[in-house]
Chain A
Amino acid sequence: MNASRGVALALAVSIAGSLALVVIYVVGGSIQQQGIGLALALGGVGTAIVIWAVALIEAPIEIEERHSFATGREHAVVVDSGTGTQEISRRRFLARLLAGAVGILGAALVMPAFSLGPQPGTDLFRTAWRRGLRLVDLGNRPIRPDDLVADSVTTVFPEGFVGRPDSQTLLIKVSPSDLALPSDRAAWAPEGCVAYSKVCTHAGCPVGLYRAKEHLLLCPCHQSTFDVLRGATPIFGPAARPLPQLPMEVDADGYLVALGDFPEPIGPGFWDMTHTPADGG
Chain B
Amino acid sequence: MAAEPMLTWIDERLGLAAWARAGLRKVFPDHWSFLLGEVALFCLVVLVLTGVFLTLFYVPDATSVTYSGPWAPLRGQSVSAAFDSVMRLSFEVRAGLVMRQIHHWAALVFVAAIVVHLLRIFFTGAFRRPREINWLVGIGLLLLALTMGITGYSLPDDLLSGTGLRVIYSVVIAIPFIGPYLAFLVFGGEFPTPEIISRLFVFHVMLLPALLIGGVLVHLAILVRHKHSQYAVPGATEENVVGRAFWPSQVFKSTGLAILTAAVLALMGGLIQINPIWAYGPFDATTVSSPAQPDWYAGWLDGALRLFPPIEITALGITIPSPFIPGVLLPGVAFGVMTLWPFLEAWVTGDHAEHQLLDGPREKPLRTAFGVAGLLVFVILTLAGGNDVVALVFGVPVEAMTNILRVAIVAVPLLGFGLTYRICRELFDRREAPGQRRASVRLRRTAAGGFEEIEPD
Contact = CB atoms under 8 A, between A and B. Distances in A.
A205 B285 CA distance: 9
Interface in A143-175: 155, 163, 165-166, 168
Contacts of B12: 68-70
B449 interface: no
A71 B17 contact: yes
Sort chain B's interface into a size bin.
35 or more
Interface centre among B12, B17, B187, B312 (most CB of A within 10 A): B312
Interface string A127-143: 00000000000000000
A120 to B, nearest CB: 4
B418 to A, nearest CB: 29
Contacts of B309: 238
A168 B285 contact: yes
A117 B185 contact: yes
Interface string A105-124: 00000000110111110011
B176 interface: yes
A116 B402 CA distance: 39
Interface in B309-361: 309-312, 314, 317-323, 326-327
A231 to B, nearest CB: 15
A99 interface: no
Sort chain A's interface into a size bin.
35 or more
A127 to B, nearest CB: 10
A263 B287 CA distance: 24
B171 interface: yes
A118 B171 CA distance: 19
Interface in B347-389: 387-388
A225 to B, nearest CB: 8
Contact of A272 (B14, B177, B191): B177
Interface string A228-243: 0000001011111100
A270 B398 CA distance: 28
Q: Is chain A's interface secondary structure helix, strand, loop, or mixed overall?
A: loop
Contacts of B317: 272, 274-275
Nearest to A168: B286
Contacts of A124: 173, 180, 190
B381 to A, nearest CB: 13
Please provide the 4 A-B residue pairs with the shortest distance between their CB atoms, ordered closest to farther.
Answer: A269-B321, A220-B290, A240-B312, A69-B15
Given A71-B11, A117-B186, A238-B310, 9 more contacts: A116-B185, A168-B286, A202-B170, A206-B287, A220-B292, A221-B288, A239-B310, A269-B173, A270-B179
20 contacts: A117-B184, A163-B285, A165-B285, A168-B285, A203-B171, A205-B288, A220-B289, A221-B288, A221-B292, A223-B398, A224-B310, A234-B310, A238-B308, A238-B310, A238-B326, A241-B312, A268-B174, A270-B321, A271-B177, A273-B321
